[in-house]
């Protein structure tokens, strides 16, 4: 455990060092226990913020953390924005081919009646993965990075990633959706994350 902590420390220092030399910033990922993960989020407009720089930073942060999705509350911003990149998983999940997208002001407007179970993890909850039951497919209305509106239907792992990230905009994390027995099981792990006792291999805010 101590070795893991030392390793994580050096990785984080290296990331800080690299971010000085590159224009894009590796942002700290807010961990479970940070109030912003439970805050209501607001719609954004093209004037709200420097979106292109924020997106460049989020893509950099997601790549370094090796995740497949990142929602704005996870980098401390209570706004309705998330990014997904499932392309690395496209061999196992063909629906994730070219699934690298920005979702702005999204709204899930339809959910299928049939459910599926997938094991989920989250960059804000390092070290925890649990089975979560969710609708198998969803239809979502959103705007892309150019504020062009789209309405699309997704299924499989793509639908799973979207629902997980969408939950972050609604103030939820995936452990809110597991059974009471499993929640009891992960309670100590969650408490340890909130107390800053859990190391991650990426830059964090705890």
Which of 143/169 has CB closer to Zn ion?
169
d(CA 33, CA 15): 23
Cβ-based neighbour number of residue 167 at 10 Å = 21
Query: Least separation, in Å, of the C-beta of 155 and Zn ion?
Result: 20
Which position among 95, 111, 165, 170 bears the catalytic label?
165
The CB-of-32 to Zn ion minimum distance in angstroms stands at 10
In this complex, which beta carbon is closest to Zn ion, that of residue 58 or of residue 122?
122
Q: Is 31 in the site for Zn ion (CB under 5 A)?
A: no
Contact stretch for Zn ion (CB under 5 A) within 3-11, 36-44, 121-129, 181-189:
121-129
**Closest approach of Zn ion to the CB of residue 164, in Å:** 6
- Angle, CA of 151, 154 and 157, to the nearest 5°: 150
Query: What is the Cα–Cα distance from 171 to 120, expressed in whole angstroms?
Result: 17
- Give the nearer residue to Zn ion in terms of CB position, either 18 or 193: 193
Active site residue 145: no
CB nearer to Zn ion: pick between 47 and 61 = 61
Instruction: Assess contact for 32 and 124: CB atoms under 8 A.
Output: yes
Written as six digits, the tokens of 122 are 């989250």
Largest CA distance in the chain: 49
Closest CB to Zn ion belongs to which residue?
122
**Kindly report the CA angle at 87 between 82 and 151, in degrees rounded to 5?**
50
Which of 29, 122, 128, 198 touches Zn ion (CB under 5 A)?
Answer: 122
C-beta of 38: minimal distance to Zn ion in Å? 13
Beta strands in the chain (DSSP E): 29-30, 69-71, 81-85, 100-111, 115-120, 130-135, 137-143, 149-155, 204-205
| Count of positions on this chain that bind Zn ion (CB under 5 A) | 1
Q: Enumerate the active-site residues.
A: 165
Note the residues at the interface with Zn ion (CB under 5 A).
Answer: 122
């Amino acid at each position: 455990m101590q070795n893991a902590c030392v390793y994580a420390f050096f990785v984080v220092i290296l990331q800080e060092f690299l971010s000085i030399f590159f224009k894009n910033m590796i942002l700290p990922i807010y961990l479970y226990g940070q109030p912003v993960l439970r805050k209501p989020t607001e719609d954004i407009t093209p004037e709200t913020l420097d979106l292109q720089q924020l997106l460049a930073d989020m893509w950099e942060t997601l790549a370094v953390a090796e995740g497949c999705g990142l929602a704005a509350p996870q980098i401390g911003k209570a706004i309705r924005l998330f990014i997904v990149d499932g392309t690395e998983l496209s061999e196992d999940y063909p629906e994730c081919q070219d699934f690298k997208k920005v979702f702005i002001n999204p709204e899930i407007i339809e959910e299928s009646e049939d459910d599926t179970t997938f094991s989920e993890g989250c960059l804000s909850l390092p070290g925890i993965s649990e089975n979560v039951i969710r609708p198998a497919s969803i239809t979502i209305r959103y705007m892309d990075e150019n504020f062009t509106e789209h309405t699309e239907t997704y299924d499989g792992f793509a639908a799973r990633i979207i629902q997980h990230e969408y939950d972050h905009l609604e103030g939820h994390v995936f452990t809110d959706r597991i059974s009471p027995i499993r929640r009891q099981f992960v309670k100590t792990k969650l408490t340890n994350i909130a107390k800053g006792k859990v190391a991650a291999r990426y830059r964090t805010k705890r």
